[in-house]
């Protein structure tokens, strides 16, 4: 219990720091017609923090030895009723749980179960972080926990309004918008924001590194663990030059996202392998058909990005935009539905290391550095000192 209270105090301190920083980030430059859709970041953050605090004061609804079973049951139900991630669908439908556990779970409400699942995944990711040397040890206490403490909530994250120049692919501005916007609202916002020189896109986010972080509900367990770790990496890096300079330039945003992607995958996969992929609960079988389709989409998007870059380099903006729309329709005919494919789409997705839209050489440099440092903690502390693209160039040169 003492550890829980200590973590709760640390969470409050982290949230106060986060809120203090957010007060300096109003939606400056957001078009007036779009402001009614803006996301109430401080209000939602405070509500989520209070919800997490209230959970710590309640007794667990499920015995501690059954918490991993509860997580599996929750994600099984989520995939049945809200199947966003279909890569492992069907392989766990026959999951057999002990009868006494199912009786225990029957009295737990769905939202109460969600809070229990969040707390369990937080503990599991926390254990991996401690193993990786990313935890803080309090002198003379024997208490070890990562800072910031791992705290997240499963819900629908806000959307993001992204703009890019039409004559090149580069993030120009980004503003948080409300969750669950209807397609017609997204289209109207894009039309109101775009101009002769600006491309606009409204894109739902997969997560947001506020505090507690927001992780998209409806993804499979493996993807959720990776997202939890990804958002925590952003929070961790805030205390280093790399994270504090996230918004300094497009290159720094790209660098932050690529570091979080590489480290988040490593931590999330370690947590999945430790708690869910062994013993009586084997991992879901691979879906060869889904794997081939995903690989095909990645190849197509990478080719489209290279072609668009070529058109824009020659000043053929209209030709690039016609090409992107034709390719979007072609992808849709093959089952890959992208609502809008434009310069802003590639500007946003190109910042992530695992995206076929990415063309930055940073990913290769970061993976080389990760191998050379030996440990994840060493890698993050080294790359965390990078405050500018020139710092990265100097680090790579050394």
**Beta bridge partners of residue 159, listed in sequence order:** 177, 204
Question: What is the tally of structural domains in the chain?
Answer: 2
How many percent of the chain have pLDDT more than 90? 49
Is residue 369 situated within a structural domain?
A: no
Q: What is the pLDDT of residue 298?
A: 78
140 & 167 share domain = no
Element (H, E) at 199: strand 198-204
Residue 63, Ramachandran bin (φ over 0: left; ψ between -120 and 50: alpha; else beta): beta
199 & 306 share domain = yes
Q: Cα dist. 328→163, 171, 320 in Å? A: 19, 21, 12
Give per-residue pLDDT as tens, 61-104: 566 777 888 898 888 877 766 655 444 433 333 455 554 544 45
269 & 187 share domain = no
Confidence of residue 279 (pLDDT cuts 50, 70, 90): very low
| Among the listed residues 68, 54, 156, 72, the one whose alpha carbon sits nearest the alpha carbon of residue 112 | 54
Is residue 24 situated within a structural domain?
A: yes
Q: How is 26-46 classified by DSSP, letter by letter? A: --TT--TTTGGGB--HHHHHH
Give per-residue pLDDT as tens, 24-50: 344 567 788 888 999 888 778 778 777
Residues in the chain: 398
Q: What is the pLDDT of residue 31?
A: 81
Give per-residue pLDDT as tens, 285-307: 545 545 555 667 778 898 999 99
Q: What is the pLDDT of residue 108?
A: 59
Is residue 95 situated within a structural domain?
A: yes
Give per-residue pLDDT as tens, 130-176: 999 998 776 656 677 788 999 999 999 999 999 999 999 998 989 99
Is residue 127 situated within a structural domain?
A: yes
| Among the listed residues 87, 228, 89, 224, the one whose alpha carbon sits nearest the alpha carbon of residue 146 | 228
Q: How is 245-281 classified by DSSP, letter by letter? A: TTTS-HHHHHHHHHHHHHHHHHHHHHHHHHHTSSTTS
Query: How many Å apart are CA 161 and CA 219, to the nearest integer?
Result: 22
Q: What is the pTM of this model?
A: 0.82
Q: Cα dist. 355→146, 157, 331, 345, 396 in Å? A: 29, 20, 16, 11, 22
**Residue 344's domain spans which residues?**
159-204+288-360
150 & 267 share domain = yes
Contact 236, 244 (CB under 8 A): no
185 & 44 share domain = no
Q: Cα dist. 84→114, 149, 223, 281 in Å? A: 17, 28, 11, 22
Contact 227, 207 (CB under 8 A): yes
């Amino acid at each position: 219990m003492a550890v829980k209270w200590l973590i709760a105090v640390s969470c409050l301190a982290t949230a106060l720091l986060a809120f203090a920083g957010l007060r300096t980030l109003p939606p400056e430059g957001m078009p007036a017609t779009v402001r009614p859709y803006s996301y109430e970041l401080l209000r939602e953050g405070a509500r989520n923090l209070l919800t997490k605090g209230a959970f710590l004061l309640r007794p667990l609804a499920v015995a501690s030895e059954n918490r991993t079973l509860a997580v599996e049951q929750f994600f099984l139900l989520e995939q049945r009723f809200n199947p966003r991630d279909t890569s492992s669908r069907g392989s766990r439908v026959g999951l057999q749980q002990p009868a006494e556990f199912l009786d225990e779970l029957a009295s737990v409400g769905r939202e109460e179960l969600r809070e229990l699942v969040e707390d369990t995944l937080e503990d599991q990711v926390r254990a991996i972080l401690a193993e990786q040397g990313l935890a803080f040890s309090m002198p003379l206490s024997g208490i070890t926990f990562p800072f910031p403490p791992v705290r997240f909530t499963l819900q629908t994250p806000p959307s993001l309004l992204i703009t890019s120049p039409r004559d090149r692919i580069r993030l120009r501005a980004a503003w948080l918008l409300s969750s669950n916007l209807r397609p017609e609202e997204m289209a109207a916002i894009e039309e109101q924001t775009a101009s002769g020189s600006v491309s606009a896109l409204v894109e739902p986010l997969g997560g947001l590194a506020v505090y507690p972080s927001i992780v998209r509900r409806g993804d499979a367990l493996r993807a959720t663990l990776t997202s939890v770790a990804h958002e925590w990496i952003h929070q961790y890096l805030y205390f280093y030059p790399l994270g504090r300079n996230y918004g300094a330039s497009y290159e720094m945003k790209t660098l932050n996202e690529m570091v979080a992607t590489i480290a988040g995958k490593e931590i999330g996969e370690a947590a999945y392998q430790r708690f869910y992929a062994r013993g009586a609960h084997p991992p879901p079988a691979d879906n060869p058909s889904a794997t081939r389709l995903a690989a095909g989409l990645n190849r197509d998007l990478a080719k489209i990005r290279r072609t668009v870059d070529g058109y824009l380099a020659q000043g053929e903006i209209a030709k690039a935009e016609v090409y992107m729309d034709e390719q979007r329709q072609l992808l849709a005919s093959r089952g890959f539905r992208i609502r809008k494919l434009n310069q802003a789409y590639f500007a946003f997705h190109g910042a992530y290391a695992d995206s076929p839209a990415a063309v930055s050489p940073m990913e290769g440099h970061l993976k080389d550095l990760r191998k050379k440092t030996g440990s994840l903690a060493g890698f993050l502390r080294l790359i965390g000192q990078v405050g500018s693209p020139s710092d990265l160039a100097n680090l790579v040169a050394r």
